[in-house]
Amino acid sequence: MNDDFKRILVGVDDSGDALLAFNYAIKRAKISNAELVIVSVLESNEMSVYQALSKDYIHGEREELEQHILKYQKQAQDAGVKKVRSIVAEGNAGETIVKDVIPHVEPDLLIIGSCAKKGLARRFGSQAAYMAKYSPISVLVIR
């Protein structure tokens, strides 16, 4: 694996594995003096039909997530990462990161946790496996 990473993308969703991945990404960014890009995905399939149809609800959820992700950004900056930015995307997490976020951000490495916050039904197999299989860049899965 190439250790000369210039831009690292890390996915966060507040799950235990994602927090481990985030902490690892901070260390890796500091070692490589790389830019750290933090992404969180607002998944519409987690909303009810009424919530998904309500522009106010989605706007409120997105705003809340944007505020929340800034805490991650500050944590990375406080830990000594010089270049940090964050992105909130919408859609299915795996597909959105692979098809939209990676082409836009152009990272050298994607770091993710092995399972999402939804418990046993979403163990390694859905989102993380999708990203590991279809990502055009190296993926480091932390568990």
**Model confidence pLDDT, tens digit, residues 19-70:** 999 999 999 999 999 999 999 998 866 666 666 667 787 778 889 999 999 9
Helix (H, G, I), strand (E, B) or coil at 143: coil
From 103, 101, 94, 99, select the one nearest 141 (Cα to Cα). 94
Query: What residues does each domain of the chain span?
Result: 7-142
What pLDDT was estimated at residue 115?
Answer: 74
Mean pLDDT across the chain:
87
Residue 125 predicted with pLDDT over 70: no
Q: Does domain 7-142 have CATH number 1.10.730.10?
A: no
Count Cβ neighbours within 10 Å for each residue of 118-132 and write b for 16 or more, e otherwise: eeeebebebbbebbb
* Cα gap 66→58, rounded to integer Å: 12
- Rounded Cα distance between 32 and 9, Å, is 13
